[in-house]
Copies of this chain bind each other. A is one copy, B any other.
């Protein structure tokens, strides 16, 4: 078990002694597919680092629908922003998307350890700012943009990430649909539609972008305010 938590942005400026202290209150666990980590409304006295698999953060509506707020990738922390609240409560539910491994940390303890270090504070605030940005961006996606636009933006983002015009979808279609705030049926139809217009070719969960410029114009991606990828920070954090 040799994980250097310092590879996570949040911990990157801790010294050896601090790392040791932090690890004392930490706890590694393995989650089965679909296993819940916490639910909306639970007391939030721990935060987490994903070391394997994916964790899905979501909210549930009264009729059981899920809206996926984010999918956390290995190397990223989440729920750490809550440690500054008086009575922290998880604003989302979290569960494993496929089998996953995580380390959890005691928020209070962590706060105490870094209480001297303004640097770590600044770091956290940086990630929080980004997160705020992301959420604001998401809100206007939801209100100002159509489902097709969101789909195109997602595909382009994925393409940029992978660096190739041919790639596999990062998760099951149903999951992506919930992430993009639409029903699986709508997701499917939009893909079908893009495919019929020869903008992309799709085979199962493999996608090949054919007409990138057209896709880009359909997404008319935030020409106004700089793209997400420009962000200086490598490891994204969440919540």
Contacts and interface: CB of A to CB of B under 8 A. Distances in A.
B125 A132 contact: no
Interface stretch (A13-21, A142-150, A199-207): A142-150
A226 interface: yes
A139 interface: yes
Interface in A80-116: 81-82, 84-89, 91-92, 115-116
A137 interface: yes
A40 to B, nearest CB: 5
B226 A132 contact: no
A226 to B, nearest CB: 6
Given A139-B139, A139-B142, A225 B132 contact: no
A239 B142 contact: no
Interface string A169-180: 000000000000
B124 A225 contact: no
Given A59-B144, A61-B144, A140-B61, A121 B125 contact: yes
A31 interface: no
A140 B67 CA distance: 7
A138 interface: yes
Interface of A: 40-41, 59-62, 65, 67, 69, 81-82, 84-89, 91-92, 115-116, 118, 121-122, 124-126, 128-133, 135-140, 142-145, 181, 220, 224-226, 232, 239
17 contacts: A41-B224, A59-B136, A60-B144, A61-B140, A62-B220, A81-B129, A84-B125, A84-B129, A87-B232, A91-B133, A91-B137, A92-B136, A131-B132, A132-B132, A135-B139, A142-B181, A143-B181
Given A91-B225, A132-B132, 19 more contacts: A41-B225, A59-B136, A61-B144, A67-B144, A81-B128, A84-B125, A84-B126, A86-B232, A88-B129, A89-B225, A89-B226, A91-B137, A125-B128, A128-B129, A128-B132, A132-B239, A135-B135, A142-B181, A143-B181
